[in-house]
Amino acid sequence: MSRDLLKAPLLGPFLGWRHARTVLQVVMLAVAVLVMVDGFWGPQLAPKNMAGVLPWVHWRGFVALALLVAGNLFCMACPFMLPRRLAKKLFRGERHWPRLLRTKWLALLLLLVFLWAYEAYDLWSSPFLTAWLALAYFAAAFVIDGFFRGAAFCKHVCPIGQFHFVNSLASPTEVAIRSPEVCAACRTRDCIVGRYEKPRGLDTGTTALRPRERGKLLQSGCELWLYQETKAGNMDCTFCLECVHACPHDNVGILTRPPASELWEDPQRAGVGRFSRRPDLAALALFLTSAAFINALGMVTPVYALEEWIGRALGTTSEPLVLGTLFLTGTVALPGLLAAGAAKTSAVLSKSGRSVIQEATRYAYALVPVGFGMWIAHYLFHFLIGGLTIIPLTQEYLGFLGFSFAGTPAWALGPLVPEAWLLPLELLFLELGFLVSVAVAYRIGLREVGPGARAAKAAAPWGLLAFLLSLAGIWLLLQPMEMRGTFMGG
C-alpha cells in the first residue's frame, strides 16, 4: 500500500512547508561557499581541504544513500537554484529553449566530458579546480535560466541532474497525485501554470486563467512542465514540490511505490513522452550504467597498465588523450555494440519484428539497476572509508579562521565501519542491482510481447548483459582501490 511522506510525522509538515526547499538550498549554498573559499584559498592538499573531501567523499555518499532510500533529494536542496531564481527575477527568461536541443543528447555529452575531466585533470585531488567547477555551475545556472523559459538548465543541461533523474527511476518514492478523480475534475491546472491572485469579480472555478487575466503570481507551478494528472515517475522531476504548494485541492504528495517499477512501465508521461519512443533517454540510461563501471575502473590499480597499453597503441603519452580513448570506448563504443547485440538477439528470439534501435530503446532501461548498484558500491566505499575525515577537516578549518577551541585535528579518523564490512556491503548492493535488472528485463518483455516463453526469450539477452556487468563489477570491487579524500591512500 502506498504511503505519503507528506503525511508522515515531523517530516511531512517540514516538507509541506512552502519555504522548506529554500531552507535546504540556503544550507547547501553555505556549504558550497565554504567549499569554494577553501578550494581557492585553503591548503591545496586534498585531504586537508573542504573542496577535496566534501564533494568527492561525503556528498557522493549521501547522494547514493538518498537515491536508494528516498529519491532525488539533492535536486530538492540544490544550491545552484538560488542564483537561478535570482536570474529569473532580473531577466525574466522569456526565450524558448532551442527545439533541436530539447533532448538529453547535450546533457549526455556534458556527462561524458565531466567524467573524463574528473580523471584526466584529477579533480578529486585538486581543490582549486573543484572550486572552479562549482563556480562554473553557479554561473551556468544563472545565465541559462536567466535567458530561457522554464527550468532549461535542469531539464536539458545539468549533468548532475541527469545522474539523479536516471538513478531515481529505481527509487522508492515519487511526487504524484493522491486521487485521479480530483485531478480529473480540476479545471485550473494550477500545478502546471501556477496559482495566481484571483481578479475581483472573475469566476475561475471552471477554467484556467488566460495569461492576461492571471494577475499576481502567488505560487509557481512546475517549471519542467510535468503536469501532475499525466506525470508518471521521476524522470525530469527535481522534487521542487512547487506542484504540492500550487495545487488548490491538496492532491499532490510524495508517495511510496515499488522500487524500479517505472522502469518497466511505459505510459505517456507529461513532459517526457513514452520511454519506448525516446532513444536519447535510453542512451542516457545506457551511458550512466556503463559509466558506473568505467568510473570505478579509473580508481583501481590495473587501470594504469591499461592506460600504458592504450598509450603505446596510439603512440602518445598524453594522459587526457589516453583517458579520452578509454572513456569513449568504455561508455559509448563498447556499450553501444553490446546493447545492439542484445537488442538484435532479443528481437530475433521474441519475433518482435522491431529494429535494433527500437528494441534497445525499450529494453536499455533494464540495465539501470545494475548500474545504480555499482554507483552505490563505489560511492559508499569512499564514504564509509573516509566519512569521519569531516571531523579533523572542520577542526583544521576553524583553526584557519582563528578559532582554537576545536583543538588539534585528529587526522587518524576516517572509517565509519570496520574495513572487513566494506566488500560484503559493496557486493550486496551490486548483486541486488543485478537481480532487479533481470526482473525489470522480464517485466519489459511481458509488456512488449505478452506472457510465456516469448517474454523470457526477449529478456534473456538483457539479463545476460546485466550478468556480465555484475561480473565486471565483482572484479572491480576485488581490486585495490584508491582511498581518495583521506590520508590512507590518496
Is there a domain that residue 108 lies in?
A: yes
pLDDT of residue 60: 93
Dihedral sign computed on CA atoms, order 204, 210, 216, 217: positive
Q: Return the higher-pLDDT residue of 215 and 419.
A: 419
Give yes or no: residues 305 and 229 share one domain: no
pLDDT band at 198; cut points 50, 70, 90? low
Residue ending a domain, choose from 256, 288, 317? 256
Model pLDDT for residues 271-290, shown as the tens digit of each residue: 999 999 999 999 999 999 99
Q: Which pairs with CB-CB distance under 8 Å and at least 24 residues apart come from 108-113?
A: 108/162, 108/280, 108/283, 108/284, 108/287, 110/157, 110/159, 111/159, 111/162, 111/163, 111/284, 111/287, 111/288, 111/291, 112/287, 112/327, 112/328, 112/331, 112/332
pLDDT band at 154; cut points 50, 70, 90? very high
pLDDT of residue 200: 47
SS3 readout for 373-397: HHHHHHHHHHHHHHHHHHHHHHHHH
Instruction: Name the residue range of residue 222's domain.
Output: 173-256
For 111, other C-beta atoms within 10 Å of its C-beta total 22
Is there a domain that residue 82 lies in?
A: yes
CA 70 to each of CA 66, 73, 318, 340, 383: distance values in angstroms, whole numbers, following the listed order: 5, 7, 42, 33, 18
Do the beta carbons of residue 53 and residue 35 sit within 8 Å? no
The residues facing 252 across adjacent strands are 177
Is there a domain that residue 488 lies in?
A: no
Give yes or no: residues 332 and 413 share one domain: yes
Whole-number average pLDDT of the chain = 91
Is there a domain that residue 310 lies in?
A: yes
pLDDT of residue 216: 75
Query: Does pLDDT of 406 surpass 60?
Result: yes
Give yes or no: residues 189 and 113 share one domain: no
Give yes or no: residues 205 and 286 share one domain: no
Give yes or no: residues 461 and 322 share one domain: yes
The residues facing 174 across adjacent strands are 255
Give yes or no: residues 364 and 408 share one domain: yes
Spatial CB neighbours of 176, under 8 Å, sequence gap ≥ 6: 228, 231, 232, 252, 253, 254, 255, 257
Is there a domain that residue 107 lies in?
A: yes
Give yes or no: residues 283 and 217 share one domain: no
Residue ending a domain, choose from 233, 256, 279? 256
Is there a domain that residue 263 lies in?
A: no
Give yes or no: residues 333 and 405 share one domain: yes
pLDDT of residue 214: 60
Give yes or no: residues 418 and 431 share one domain: yes
Give yes or no: residues 159 and 180 share one domain: no
Do the beta carbons of residue 257 and residue 2 sit within 8 Å? yes
Give yes or no: residues 167 and 177 share one domain: no
Give yes or no: residues 182 and 157 share one domain: no
pLDDT band at 489; cut points 50, 70, 90? very low
The mean pLDDT value for 411-431 works out to 91
Query: Does pLDDT of 207 surpass 70?
Result: no
Query: Does pLDDT of 92 surpass 90?
Result: no
- In this prediction the pTM is 0.92
pLDDT band at 328; cut points 50, 70, 90? very high
pLDDT of residue 340: 98
The mean pLDDT value for 197-211 works out to 53
Q: Return the higher-pLDDT residue of 86 and 397.
A: 86
CA distance 134 to 153: 15
pLDDT of residue 39: 94
Model pLDDT for residues 22-47, shown as the tens digit of each residue: 999 999 999 999 999 999 998 899 88
- For residue 430 the three cell numbers come to 551490486
Spatial CB neighbours of 55, under 8 Å, sequence gap ≥ 6: 35, 130, 134
Q: DSSP class of residue 333?
A: I
Is there a domain that residue 29 lies in?
A: yes
Number of domains the chain contains: 2
pLDDT band at 484; cut points 50, 70, 90? low
322, containing H or E segment: helix 319-328
Is there a domain that residue 116 lies in?
A: yes
Model pLDDT for residues 175-192, shown as the tens digit of each residue: 999 999 999 999 888 999
